[in-house]
Every structure is written in C-alpha cells, then in structure tokens.
Amino acid sequence: MTLASPLDLAIGDRLRKQREARGVTQAQLGKALGVSFQQVQKYERGTNRIASATLIRCAEVLDTSVAALCGEKDVAPEVGPFVREFTKLDDDQRKAVLNLIRVMVR
C-alpha cells in the first residue's frame, strides 16, 4: 500500500473543508463529478490523487478557485466566481471594472 503524499493530503483536506463550508455532501459532490461518494472520500483522505480536470470541476461545483484548493495563501474564496464573471465582460467593461477596483483600494 502506498502512503498518501503530503500534497495529496493537503489538497484533500482543503477539498473537504470547502465542501463542508458550502453544505455539500460527499454524495452530492460525487454526483456532480460523475464519481461515487466513496471516490470523494478517497480524494479527501488523499488516498487517491485528484486529476487536474477533476480538480477544476471540484472548484466549479464548490464555487471556489483551483488555487484555493491547492493552498494558494493569497486567494480569497470569491476569486473563482469573480474571474468566471469577469471573463464574460467585453474589453471596455473589464477596463472599467479594473479602474473601479484601483480607485477602491486607494
């Protein structure tokens, strides 16, 4: 039996915390991913490594970012949804939003 790597354990732990924070069960997440709840348990325990495509799908389902699931320290939970919405804007709208943010942080 192969021991889970520290990275797989850390990602699994963050996945579990994000899932629980959003009130999503393992069964619900598994259904959204097309896997069993037992597979979600294995991801969360670090027993099975999460493929990058599955990690992206987890972030989408849990309305967070892949960076947050991977442990990026400076990423707020709102970044994932913000980026998804921001990319829907045209160039002029993006510039306006960036200018607004720059003014707000001053």
Structure confidence at residue 52 (pLDDT): 93
Structure confidence at residue 83 (pLDDT): 77
Residues with Cβ within 8 Å of residue 77, at least 6 apart in sequence: 18, 64, 65, 68
Structure confidence at residue 13 (pLDDT): 94
Tokens of 53: 């495509």
Structure confidence at residue 82 (pLDDT): 80
pTM of the model: 0.69
One CATH from 1.10.1660.10, 1.10.260.40, 1.10.3720.10, 1.20.120.420 for 6-75: 1.10.260.40
Structure confidence at residue 14 (pLDDT): 94
Structure confidence at residue 8 (pLDDT): 92
Structure confidence at residue 74 (pLDDT): 57
Taking the chain (106 residues) in runs of 10, the rounded mean pLDDT of each run is 82 94 96 97 95 94 88 69 84 92 90
Rounded to whole angstroms, the Cα distance separating 65 from 72 reads: 9
Written as one string, the DSSP assignment of 26-87 is HHHHHHHHTS-HHHHHHHHHTSSPPPHHHHHHHHHHTTS-HHHHHT-TT--TTHHHHHHHHT
